Amino acid sequence: MKIVIDAMGGDNAPSVTVEGAIEAVKSYDVNIILTGNQPMIENELAKYDYPREKIEIIHCSEQITNEDKPVISIRKKKDSSMVVGLKLVKENKADAIISAGNTGALLAGGLLLLGRIKGIDRPALAPVYPTTKGISVLIDGGANADCKPRNFLEFGVMGSIYAEKVIGIKKPKVCTVNIGIEEEKGSDVVKAAHNLCKDASFNFKGNVEARDIPSGYADVILCDGFTGNVILKLTEGLASSIFGLLKEEFVKNTFRKIGALLLKSGLRDFKKRFDYTEYGGAPFLGVNGVLIKAHGSSDGKAIKNAVRQAIKFVDNNIIEDITTEITSLGVDTLE
């Protein structure tokens, strides 16, 4: 299997992308193609001992930055590490691509270069969401701010297959995020989506209120990309605010300082449960190719785990499964 890593994508590229590639080829039966600035990549590679035949570099003269406009940069920067990587997947010269670069550009590039799976109207991002029970999959994590009811059905099919085959959740419980658990509650789009999902082949369990998301009530959390973004970012902001406030309270006097010291390992163990790097990245489900968006601040371990995730994705023929399932549902005939 051959996996491309966009070596120039992310806050700490190419040092962490190269580190992740090295760790991956040492751990898995995989070949890595690194796209990007050859001298810079070679400079990083020189720091490691590794099986040289398993890593290949394809030099690219350009780079898409976080400041670049998504569609324009994909069209104009034809020799960027991201575009070159996507083309390798499109031309079947690689099985998957991982990038920690500009999210908007990567999604646009996925749509423009890989295209959509037949029957899928809107590909969607599917990040994991850590819960008190384990992890859930949230879809859409932000690719489509506005969604039609049929898109929720597509998200359900894709999220369910991914959660089962890649994350390993058996018969995942799929729920629409709504403002009440009753069927008649919610916005017009979510009500219609709920109605469509009732007859779907996946394990649809109705609505989930946002209050019950952190406890892992739903294995697959269905929502439009606007709501998904709000859920993901609010979780991030709230966790960081709560820790900030706790820290303030915990240093207010000597007793508390000693208490906090005794709890240091407990706090560390707690934080580990929310460590996104464990899970790799978020797949862009519904495009005709395996595309994984890693977090911009990914470290080497996160990149390595994204490689593991991509391998599982390819090995389990996720794209074929989605294609079969979506065709049998006849989603195409819906508005």
Question: What are the residues binding its own copies (CB under 8 A)?
Answer: 131-132, 142, 145-146, 177, 179, 185-188, 190, 209-215, 224-227, 229-242, 244-246, 249-250, 252, 255-256, 258-263, 265-267, 269-270, 273
Q: How far is the CB of 245 from its own copies (least distance, A)?
A: 6
Report in angstroms how near the CB of residue 243 gets to its own copies at its nearest.
9
Q: Minimum CB separation from its own copies for residue 214, in Å?
A: 4
Min dist CB 212 to its own copies, Å, is: 6
Pick 26 or 247: Cβ nearer its own copies:
247
Cα separation, 212 vs 181, whole angstroms? 10
Closest separation between CB of residue 219 and its own copies, Å?
16
The least distance separating its own copies from the CB of residue 284, rounded to whole angstroms, comes to 16
Short-list 280, 250, 13, 255, CA closest to 162:
280
Dihedral angle over CA of 12, 105, 234, 161, nearest 10: -100
Q: How far apart are CA 282 and CA 191, in angstroms?
A: 27
CB nearer to its own copies: give 118 or 233: 233
The 3-class SS string of 161-229 reads HHHHHHHCCCCCCEEEEECCCCCCCCCHHHHHHHHHHCCCCCCEEEEEEHHHCCCCCCCEEECCHHHHH
Q: How far is the CB of 295 from its own copies (least distance, A)?
A: 14
Q: Phi-psi region for residue 206, left (φ > 0), alpha (ψ -120 to 50) or beta?
A: left
Minimum CB distance to its own copies smaller for 171 or for 233: 233
* Token couple for 172: 């995942």
Tokens 């029970």 — which residue?
133
**Which CB sits closer to its own copies, 52 or 264?**
264
C-alpha torsion angle, residues 33, 39, 41, 42 (rounded to 10): 90
Q: Kindly give, in sequence order, each residue whose CB lies less than 8 Å from that of residue 208, ignoring residues fewer than 6 positions away.
A: 175, 176, 177, 178, 181, 217, 218, 221
Give the residue from 96, 87, 40 showing the smallest Cα distance to 303: 96
Where does residue 29 rank: exposed (0-12), middle (13-18), buried (19+ CB within 10 A)?
exposed
Q: Closest separation between CB of residue 62 and its own copies, Å?
A: 23
Give the C-alpha separation, 261 to 247, whole Å.
Answer: 11
88, with CB counted inside 10 A (0-12, 13-18, 19+), is: buried
Nearer to its own copies, 72 or 239 (CB): 239
Q: Closer to its own copies by CB, 89 or 221: give it.
A: 221
Pick between residue 200 and residue 230 the one whose CB is nearest to its own copies. 230
Using the minimum distance from each CB to its own copies, give the nearer residue, 242 or 332.
Answer: 242
Q: Which is nearer to its own copies, 52 or 268 (CB)?
A: 268
| Bridge partners, 177 (sequence order) | 208
- Distance between CA atoms of residues 290 and 288, nearest Å: 7
Least separation in angstroms between residue 269's CB and its own copies is 5
